[in-house]
Amino acid sequence: MNILLIGANGYLGPHVVRELAPHHRLRITDIHPAPPEIRRQFPDHEYFDLDVTSQEQVMQGSAGMDAIVNLSVVRRDPELAFRVNSQGCYHIMRAAVEHGIRRVVNSGPHFTVTGPSYEQFDFGIHPDVPPQPGTGLYPITKSLGHEVCRVFAEHHDVYVQDLLLNSLRDDADLKAGAGGVPFVVTWSDAAQAVRLALEIDLERLPSKCEAFFIFGDLPQQKFLNNEAKRILGFEPKGNVALLWKRPGVPEG
Amino acid sequence: MKRRTFLQQAGVLLAGPAATAAAAEQKPQESGGPPTSRRPVVLLTSPESDLSRALAAALGEQFHIRTADGPLFRDETGRLDRMLGGVNAVVHVAQPAAAETGAELLDQRTRGTYDLLTVAVAKGVELFVYLGSLDVMGGYDPSFQVAEDWRPVPTSDIGQLSHYMAECVCREFARERKLRAIVLRLGAITQEAAARGHSGDVPRVDQADAVQAVRLALEAHFTRQGAGLQAWNVLHVAADVPDGRFPVTRARRVLGYRPQSAFPE
């Protein structure tokens, strides 16, 4: 499969490249250059600059692709957050429609749909709820991007999977008692989810716009990742539950 | 019950000392004579649009009208802060003149609305009226009568999509009870005489009736102590067509909206 990766040179991108490179032909793009070790390790893939805020660049970069993976994100800049997180999705979806690309994998934080009004009150939260991102810049701009994707999917022959992540960790950082946000996934498991979203038969998706919570198996039951497991076949390997184990207490 | 008490009970934050202090700041273009303590200050956006001009002319006796030119983005100059200092309500007409591309329209309706709301909240603005479009409800089968509690179904057309996204932005501010938001989803604005004989799928509303709805929304908040209003309000504003696609029942009930012009669908 020919895959356009947008925002591929951030934190998650290189993990996704490692996961996908053996199986697919990648067009690895970002406004930042790819890490040298990635270029050395995967010299047979395409690399070039692409700014998701430019409709023209996204349109050109999408030519000849079978799927688009959007990993771009801006969290704090009040202008760029809109241009990247919201308008960027508009540019991507227009390009997908123009080029007949039926598969788009988007990404964002879990509060794209389940903001403070869910997180501060509820348990057993799943991603198929009416979006309530709240008024924070990062959540609301990502949520608007999600809505753009949903509207395009409803009106065009495009399937969107929005992978919602939050706290990403290295396996080495998973230490007993460290705690954290109960929405943790390892980088490699997150990359696995991207691969699964690219490989699933589109006709098996329950709808043309699906959101999945991507995190490892956690004890809190605050959020649920069962749909990612059931539909995508997501099998997180990282022992993220360890973060909430009592230090020094043996398993069992 | 005093308005302040009512709104506090309703969970809508009110203008506080910040708004009083901000009132002393430099003000942009104003009309309707000098502000008095009895006349709420209303900021109108898109002053170059026909609708905004009609609103300024019609509301000037009851409200102190201030107009907001240009893109409504926060910047280092603090222009939006000055514009909103001392303002009690914003009527966001959201018809940006400078938007030349779809992406610009999207940016102005999403980021512009977000920035306007963000600064409005900081300045203690109580009421935000967004003038949206009934187009976002046009996707339902024409055999249905579509009310405000139906899900918006915009197409990917940038005009519809950007209005819908602006509504989403307003809704989150209302959900957090940062101010009261009223979305008036307007039919296609038209002049009655010009529209006679016209037929089409788009529900229409005479400009005078659209102005009436905005005036009633402001009055409901400022002179009727918010009676019938919530923190988040969506109202359809169109001609009152018997058995039409978009009944104005809720606007009639909540605001007392009485459209004077009728366009057969």
Q: How far apart are CA B21 and CA A204, in angstroms?
A: 59
DSSP A86: I
Please list, in sequence order, all residues whose beta carbon lies within 8 angstroms of the beta carbon of residue B260, skipping any fewer than 6 positions away: B206, B208, B209, B212
Among B183, B74, B168, B112, residue whose Cα is nearest residue A133: B168
Give the pLDDT score at B225.
Answer: 83
B9's enclosing H/E stretch is helix B3-9
Show residues of chain A in contact with B73, CB under 8 Å: 79
* Closest CA–CA distance from residue B7 to any residue of chain A (Å): 21
A113-124 burial, b if ≥16 CB within 10 A, otherwise e?
A: bbbbebbeeeee
* β-strand pairing of B64-68 with B30-31: antiparallel
How many CB atoms neighbour CB A202 within 10 A?
12
Selecting from A82, A117, A151 the residue whose C-beta is nearest the C-beta of B110 gives: A82
Residue entry with tokens 């809505």:
A147
The predicted pLDDT at position B202 comes to 62
Closest alpha carbon to B71 in A73, A139, A82, A74: A82
| Mean predicted confidence (pLDDT) in A18-29 | 98
State the DSSP string of B134-203: GGGGTTS-TTSPP-TTSPP---S-HHHHHHHHHHHHHHHHHHTTSSEEEEEEE-EEE-HHHHTT---SS-
Q: What values do phi and psi take at A5, rounded to 5?
A: -105, 120
Asked if B107's CB is within 8 angstroms of A90's CB, the reply is no
* Record: contact B156-A79, CB cut-off 8 A: no
Name the H helices within A87-136.
Answer: 87-99, 116-119
pLDDT of residue B261: 83
The residue with tokens 């605001």 is B255
Question: CA-CA distance, B166 to B159, in Å (whole number)?
Answer: 11
How confident is the model over B163-221, as pLDDT tens digits? Answer: 999 999 999 999 999 999 999 999 999 875 455 444 456 689 999 999 999 999 999 99
Listed residue (A82, A134, A85) closest to A111, CA to CA: A134
Q: Which two tokens stand for residue A7?
A: 């925002």
- Cα gap B71→B150, rounded to integer Å: 31
Chain A residues contacting B via beta carbons under 8 Å = 55, 78-79, 82-83, 86-87, 90-91, 93-94, 97, 115, 117, 131-135, 137, 140, 143-144, 147-148, 151-152, 154-156
Question: Each residue of A54-89: pLDDT tens digit?
Answer: 999 999 999 999 999 999 999 999 999 999 999 999
The dihedral of CA A78, A83, A84, A85: what is its sign? positive
Q: Determine which of A23-37, A135-149, B18-32, B141-155 has the lowest per-residue pLDDT on average.
A: B18-32
Of A190, A239, A230, residue with least CA distance to A210: A230
Burial of residue B76, with CB atoms counted within 10 A of its CB: 0-12 exposed, 13-18 middle, 19 or more buried: exposed
Q: What is the pLDDT of residue A27?
A: 98
Lowest mean pLDDT among A173-182, A222-231, B196-205, B245-254: B196-205
Secondary structure E strands in chain A:
2-6, 25-30, 46-49, 67-70, 103-109, 159-165, 167-169, 184-186, 209-213
Cross-strand pairs, B235: B184
On average, the pLDDT of chain A sits at: 96
CA-to-CA dists, residue A31 to A16, A186, A190, A244, B134, angstroms: 17, 25, 22, 37, 39
Euclidean distance between CA atoms A64 and A61, whole angstroms: 8
Q: What does chain B come to in residues?
A: 265
- CA A192 to CA A143: how far, in whole Å? 23
- The token pair at A14 is 């290189």
Contacts of B176 in chain A (CB under 8 A): 117, 134-135
φ/ψ of A27, rounded to 5, equals -110, 105
Query: What count of other Cβ atoms lies within 10 Å of the Cβ of residue A63?
Result: 13
Which residues of chain B register pLDDT less than 70?
1-37, 192-202, 264-265
Percent of chain A with pLDDT over 90: 98
pTM of the model: 0.90
Element (DSSP H or E) covering residue B76: none
Chain A neighbors of B173, CB-CB under 8 A = 135
* Predicted local distance difference test score (pLDDT) of residue B237: 97
- Distance (Å) of CA A128 to CA A24, A114, A207, A221, A226: 30, 9, 11, 16, 12
